[in-house]
Structure 1
């Protein structure tokens, strides 16, 4: 709920002031998959999660949330999935690894530690922060979620933006 800051061009001599009601300890987490397949449109699949304080004291995604996201992605994409994950501790959770090993459709690789420049989803977050979330004072968590969804939907329907995040990483897709 703490508003991100961005630069703006105000009239000379008038400093812009954005009033914020107060900091909030509420948290909104987002998990996303950028999906690439040669000869097809790139896709973005995401899930926001609001911390409601009712889930085992956990404020972010659990391994079960990632399991559900992967199952939904598998159903949407209709085929095997090759996951290239960063080294988030939940991505390496034992229960998630067991679930993935029990299925024949996911193949999981991990990025090297401290390599956000190789993760296309980091580029998606950058677009979102610099565009739809900058210079906005969010009044409620619902307002924040609405702006997040609006920005991600905008990115989702413009596959060239998703392709650009892959190009930034220097990784390429080779046809099978």
Structure 2
């Protein structure tokens, strides 16, 4: 078909850093002081895109949740996903076969209508509870390991750090190839 095969997933990170291992002086346990009050968080949606004869790509977008607001969704909406897919289509310059999970936003009536309006887009759902088939899960794992034990005092600092780390991953095609290979899926044409 000459299409890009894209896997999509989303994740979030609050001001409280993920726990990680570290070194410390003998007899002194390292302590990380955190000011993780509130529900502020950075939501991330990412695509790993692959096509035979091209280097794999990582495309992402960020959504900030600055705290509680009535009637407002914390994470990505159908419109946010449509913007991400439109941007990916523009960057990749070809049709897209999208593989994603069964998140309620992905299977909603509004999302189905948006997908039907994009003739260049074909969508497949991953089986329930099968994150091991999605290479984007590895992106979030790699990102969160790099954020372990780092404290950020504001959402803006956390956002800048997340963007920097994701940008670094974009320029490491071998890392992206490794994340795809880890799924065990054979993506070579027959």
Query: What TM-score, normalized by structure 2, do the two folds share?
Result: 0.87
2:123 is equivalent to residue 108 of structure 1: yes
1:60-92 Cα offsets, whole Å, 9 max, x none, are 100010001001100110000000001111111
2:165 is equivalent to residue 140 of structure 1: no
Counting only pairs closer than 5 Å after superposition, residues 25-104 of structure 1 correspond to structure 2 as 25-52=39-66, 56-104=71-119
CA contact (8 A) 1:166 1:172 kept: no
Greater percentage in strand: 2
Which runs of 5 or more structure 2 residues have no equivalent in the other structure? 1-14
Greater percentage in helix: 1
Q: Cα gap change, 1:55/1:28 in structure 2, threshold over 3 Å: closer, same or farther?
A: farther
CA contact (8 A) 1:2 1:24 kept: no
Across the aligned residues of Structure 1 and Structure 2, the Cα RMSD in angstroms comes to: 1.5
CA contact (8 A) 1:32 1:121 kept: yes
Which runs of 5 or more structure 1 residues have no equivalent in the other structure? none
CA contact (8 A) 1:119 1:169 kept: yes
